[in-house]
Amino acid sequence: MTDTLKPKDHAEAVAHFRAQLLGPLLVGDLDRGALRVGLAELSQKRVRPPGSALSRRYSKPTLERWYYRYKKGGVEALRPARRGDRGAARALSPAQRKLLLGIRGEFPGASAELILRTLELDGRLAPKTLSAPTLRRLFAQHGLDRRTLRRTGKAGRARRRWEASAPGVLWHADVCHGPTLTLGDTKVPVRIHAILDDASRRIMAIEVCDNEREIEMLRLMVRALRRSPRPDALYLDNGSTYSGDTLATACARVDVRLVNAQPYDPQARGKMERFWRTLRQGCLDYLGEVSSLHDVRARVLAFVEQHYHRAPHASLMGRSPATVWATHTRHALHLDEAALEKALTVRQRRRIRGDGTLSVGGVEWEAAQSFIAGSTVTIARALLETQSAPWVEYKGQRYALRPVDAKRNGKAHRRKAHRPARGIDVPFDPAGVLLASAVGRSPLELDR
């Protein structure tokens, strides 16, 4: 500790500087007009304020304002006031400010430097409009600084541990990007779809695919519903795999509520993310040499059934998912095949060609009933795990469709058009009837 006495902060140093600058004007009584002359002389004097590397002049109105502040409140009144709009980034327009705050809300992990650089390169923000520290202060003012986001989460409230009331009540569904396989000259991406029960952490169904289409998740859900009673809700993220109409319609028809997490908030999907980490550490990172997706599927299923379901989980107080699931007593509706087919039936108005055929899902189908050829009908099919044949709904009746077999149709017996037998004595004389009507006689009288 030194004996040197210094201003405690920059504001006090500025106040002392201003008082020294005003100097003799602050002492004693001034004659009439002397203050005006003194201020004019001071306004021509170049001085260097505290913390500045350059000297400057101050205008007469500024010096006069400082003078009367000192007279009223002393040196303390000369302290610079804290800006009321500090951190508000005054150089930004309201639209730019809204854009920056919106980007931080959607991408909370992005740094201020990254956001500024991206917007400047995109041309949405002029270079050097504001600095990264100013932007960080703007985020902090609106509760979007990293410390606040880590503490409260995106929703702006403290994140707390939560769990479904019982096994089977809530299912999570998600897709994981696995390693890319090199099979010969072809690179095949690995996409793992899974459904996890919230309360027990049990995997209800899992599948290894080469895509993440919505239909793949629908098939996985059907497989899970065939094995277990339906849940009350299905919890998904906001990816394109789950934002279409297919899953939403299917869940509504089987009376399962569809719940979507907030975008860009992986912490809200913590249970699913924790399973993916376990699967990577215990299986995907050690696949070794595999020759097909089937090999990956076999290894994933073995890991889930032989290890994951049997291993103790800290989140389950040391119990395993299989144990928790086996001891639950929830009684819920178990959907049969008829109910699943009805819930997953899609319909579309289509016109059947004149030869009784049409294309559905890239496959040519034909109707055995010739009377619906050329008609506009309702084509229906069930989006089940194993694709069933479509059918025709026409005038309240259901008619099956079958794949077109050109060879079978070529050998089919073709019936000839019906012609009346010759030699039957049936009177039919249109012209004679008209003649008899014209002369007022019967056709039989004309024959005589």
What DSSP string runs through 67-135? HHHHHHH-GGGGSPPPPTTTTS-TTS-HHHHHHHHHHHHH-TTS-HHHHHHHHHHHTSS-TTSS-HHHH
- Do 113 and 203 belong together in one domain? no
Greatest alpha-carbon span in the chain: 156
Q: Percent of the chain, pLDDT > 70?
A: 83
58 plus 104 within the same structural domain: no
- With a cut of 90, say whether residue 103 has pLDDT above it: no
Half-sphere exposure of 260 (CA within 13 A, CB side): 14
Residues 57 and 193 in one domain: no
Find where tokens 């289409």 sit.
Answer: 213
What is the C-alpha separation between 406 and 438, in angstroms, rounded? 57
Statement to judge: residues 179 and 322 lie in one domain: yes
CATH number reported for the structural domain that contains residue 175 in this entry = 3.30.420.10
What is the CA angle 242-275-179, rounded to 5? Answer: 75
* 247 occurs within a structural domain: yes
Residue closest to 223 by CA, chosen among 241, 207, 249, 205:
205
Q: Do β-strands 363-367 and 357-360 pair in parallel, antiparallel, or remain unpaired?
A: antiparallel
Alpha helices (H) in 153-269, listed in sequence order: 214-227, 245-253
Higher per-residue pLDDT: 173 or 121: 173
Q: pLDDT at position 128, please? A: 80
Q: Are 244 and 214 in contact (CB under 8 A)?
A: yes
pLDDT band at 3 (very low <50, low <70, confident <90, very high): low
Answer whether residue 130 is part of any domain: yes
The secondary element (H helix, E strand) that includes residue 281 is: helix 270-282
Q: What percent of the chain has pLDDT over 90?
A: 11
Pairing of strands 203-209, 233-236: unpaired
Residues 193 and 73 in one domain: no
**From 52-61, 76-85, 355-364, 400-409, the region with the lowest mean pLDDT:** 76-85
**Helix or strand run (H / E) with residue 196:** strand 191-197
Predicted confidence at residue 155, as pLDDT, reads 44
377 and 271 in a common domain: no
Distance CA 116, CA 129 (A): 9
Residue 371 backbone phi and psi in degrees, to 5: -75, -10
Average pLDDT, the chain: 80
The pLDDT value given to residue 241: 66
Centroid of chain to Cα 9: 49
User: How far out from the chain centre does Cα 253 lie?
Assistant: 22
3-state secondary structure of 55: coil
Contacts 24+ apart (CB under 8 A), 246-249: 246/214, 246/215, 246/218, 246/383, 247/214, 247/217, 247/218, 247/221
Q: Please tell me the predicted confidence (pLDDT) of residue 38.
A: 85
Angstrom distance (rounded) from CA 225 to CA 219: 10
**200 belongs to a structural domain:** yes
**CB contact set of 402 (below 8 Å; sequence gap of 6+):** 365, 366, 368, 389
- For residue 206 the two structure tokens come to 């899992």
- Residue 147 within any structural domain of the chain: yes
Mean pLDDT across 58-75: 88
Is 445 within a domain? no
If asked whether residues 184 and 101 sit together in one domain, one would say no
Question: Residue 20: inside a domain, yes or no?
Answer: yes
What is the band of 100 on the pLDDT scale with cuts at 50, 70, 90? confident
pLDDT in tens, 324-336: 898 877 666 778 8
Amino acid type, 226:
R
17 and 50 Cβ atoms separated by less than 8 Å? yes
Ramachandran quadrant class, 271 (left: phi over 0; alpha: psi -120 to 50; beta: rest): alpha
Q: Does residue 162 form part of some domain?
A: no
How many domains are contained in the chain?
4
Beta-bridge partners for 257: 233
Do 248 and 271 lie in one domain? The reply is yes
Q: Which of 226, 206, 225 is nearest to 216 (CA)?
A: 206
341 and 314 inside one domain: no
pLDDT tens digits along 265-274 = 666 678 888 8
- Among residues 361, 358, 338, 340, the alpha carbon closest in space to that of 399 is found at 358
- Give the pairing of strands 257-260 and 191-197: unpaired
Please indicate whether residue 165 or residue 210 has the higher confidence score (pLDDT): 210
Query: Got the DSSP string for 162-174?
Result: ---SSTTSEEEEE
β-partners of residue 401 are: 367
Do 388 and 259 lie in a common domain?
no
Q: Domain of residue 345: give its range.
A: 337-411
Task: Quote the CA–CA distance of 229 and 256 in Å, as a whole number.
Answer: 11
Residues 274 and 206 in one domain: yes
**CB atoms < 10 A from the CB of 265, how many?**
17
> How much is the pLDDT for 339?
82
What is the pLDDT averaged over residues 423-429?
Answer: 63
| Dist. CA 19–CA 74, nearest whole Å | 9
Structure token pair of residue 314: 């800290």
Q: Which two tokens stand for residue 328?
A: 């639950």
184 in helix, strand or coil? coil
Same domain, 323 and 344: no
CB 174 within 8 A of CB 272: yes
Distance CA 391, CA 142 (A): 58
- Asked, for residue 86, whether it belongs to a domain, the answer is no
What gap in Å lies between CA 271 and CA 203, rounded to an integer? 11
Rounded Cα–Cα distance for residues 257 and 224 (Å): 16
What pLDDT is stored for residue 321 in this prediction?
Answer: 92
pLDDT at 277 over 60: yes
Indicate the residue among 327, 351, 366 that finishes a domain: 327
Beta-bridge partners for 47 = 56
Q: What is the pLDDT of residue 297?
A: 93
Strand partners, 363: 360
